Amino acid sequence: AAVHATPGFSGISLRIGWCQPGDNTPNQMSVTGTPSISDDKSVSPAPAMYSQLALGYDNPKKILQWFEKMWFSNRDMLQAIERCIDYESDEYTVVYGMSANSDMRWDVQSNPIGYKPIDDVEEAKADL
């Protein structure tokens, strides 16, 4: 609405996939969508209700694969934020902030800001 109501309005929405504080490695992902490992003392433990899968979501492998497709590495996030800052436009645009994960459902390669993700969750898991 703001785009149409305000002539000359410009901006970027960076739709961040899955990331977490600290190292942000794939082995920190959990099926609850909460970080399973963190050195960040400001991160409070997950509430007990997140210790089990939500009712109706009973396939942990499938849920974890979904989160992995949205993984956004620290290196790729830094690059995307830099491209957002450097991008000049008089329009509003949306960019998906995810790494170049194998078999993902979103197109992160085609974007006007020049963001080119490097990391892939499957390669990062193999390197652990």
Tens digit of each residue's pLDDT (9 = 90 or more) over 2-33: 556 677 778 899 999 998 888 999 988 877 76
- Mean pLDDT for the stretch of residues 61-71: 87
Is pLDDT at 124 greater than 90 in this prediction? yes
pLDDT in the model for residue 3: 58
Q: Is the dihedral of CA 47, 15, 80, 118 positive or negative?
A: positive
Work out the percent of the chain whose per-residue pLDDT is above 90: 43
Question: What is d(CA 3, CA 58) in angstroms, rounded to the nearest whole number?
Answer: 41
* Cα 119 off chain centre by: 12
pLDDT in the model for residue 42: 47
pTM, full prediction? 0.77
